[in-house]
Amino acid sequence: MRVLIIDDDNEYRRVLRYHLEVEWPDLTIQEYQPSSAGSLPQAFPLADLDLVLLGYPLEQEPRLAMLRSLCGRTGCPPVIVFAAEGDEFLAVEAMKLGAADYFPKSRLTHQRLISSARALIRASRPDAKDSGASRSVGPVLTGLRRHTFIAELHSGDLSSVYLAQEEGTGRRRVFKILKHMPDSGSSDLFDRFLLEYEVIAKVDHPNVVKIFDLGIADDHAFIAMEYLAGGSLAERLRCGMSLAEALDYARQIARALAAIHEAGILHRDLKPANVMLRGDDTIALIDFGLAKQMKLEAAITGTGRIFGTPYYMSPEQGHAEPVDERSDIYSLGCIFYEMLTGRRPFLADSPMAVIYQHSHAARPVLVDGHQELQPILDGMIAIDPTDRFQSALQLLEQFDVISATGERLRRRHSR
């Protein structure tokens, strides 16, 4: 299959590419940036494509000129339109001109995009092959023969993460597989890898990733987890976020922290990339793996090297001091600030400089109509843990207190 993505936004093109390649690893994708390359040439072979994703600032063009031009060409495949704002009048006009589907950019989810793309391709080209489940890209483990590994989602020093599909049922799972084997001198790592996930598997909460299975296949430890089709909060942040969404996501993350803290678990690596979205826009915390925890326990080495990202580390964590649940609350505060403003609270030229700012810089100030949320932000990212909310439950109580204020703010921002 072949798809053309037209958009001036490099990041949004990358997000669309990610969604498509996770589903169809063999897909051929072409990208086009009209602001630098001009209008799509008339000679461009549209008939060779299966789908066009059009997000170039369509709403700024008079009479949707580019969409009108594409749909008027012979052999044009289905066109899915993406607009910066959810304008129902724009959607109606786009559909009248021939668009096959329409999405506001900020509301895109993996499940909706893939469902739409698959239906449109099948309808326009019945002979097109959906190769998403036909190609194994992961390890061949005899103990997991019922699953086909169709995409590698991440590879680190100690483990790799794969998207897999169960033969027969078509159900999708995510497998995290430890690279080191017990007989290679890493038996302690092996045992703790399994123990960590045995604990997480017992946490039954809608905002914590579901663990379906854990065990050993061909001397490799593995964990089978739910597939979260909506992508990560990090990707979602690149598209901008409304106040209502920021408050909703922050509350969901706080609920997840309350659940794992009650089970005696600290996340220790809470950041947007470790917050995933389902197709229904609910979130789930992921990545409680030992690999991250071990690196964070020794965050500062003799050379001053930092492992992992420092942007969401609490002051005590950044200085390799003992941490408790208030450290996770600090990390959530950094995420909350980024959701509200689109910026990280502390930036510098080096990881060590960022860590220094967490401990010494003035706390960031909310503006642009978010001032009413300053007290709750201050209670999350105070330098001294004793000045923060002392538990995720206490933080949730404060979210309840400001719910009326949040509703008033949402009405203001919707005008």
Annotated catalytic residue 218: no
3-state secondary structure of 43: coil
311 conformational bin, left if phi > 0, alpha if psi -120 to 50, beta if neither = alpha
**How many Å apart are CA 146 and CA 372, to the nearest integer?**
53
What is the full DSSP assignment across 218-249? Answer: TTEEEEEEE--TT-BHHHHHHT---HHHHHHH
Q: How far is CA 338 from CA 104, 346, 399, 409, in A?
A: 21, 10, 17, 18
CB 300 within 8 A of CB 319: yes
Using the 8-state DSSP alphabet, how is residue 305 labeled? -
Catalytic residue among 7, 269, 287, 328: 269
**How many Å apart are CA 97 and CA 84, to the nearest integer?**
18
**How many Å apart are CA 14 and CA 70, to the nearest integer?**
22
Residue 216 is which amino acid?
I
3-state secondary structure of 48: helix
Helices 243-262 and 392-401: angle between axes, nearest 10 degrees? 150
Q: How far is CA 25 from CA 16, 116, 118, 240, in A?
A: 13, 18, 14, 27
**How many Å apart are CA 1 and CA 45, to the nearest integer?**
14
**How many Å apart are CA 82 and CA 8, to the nearest integer?**
12
Query: Where do the DSSP E strands lie in 91-171?
Result: 101-104, 147-155, 159-166
Q: How far is CA 353 from CA 141, 163, 254, 295, 297, in A?
A: 44, 36, 28, 19, 19
| Run of H or E residues at 53 | strand 51-54
Q: Report, as residue numbers or ranges, the catalytic residues.
A: 269
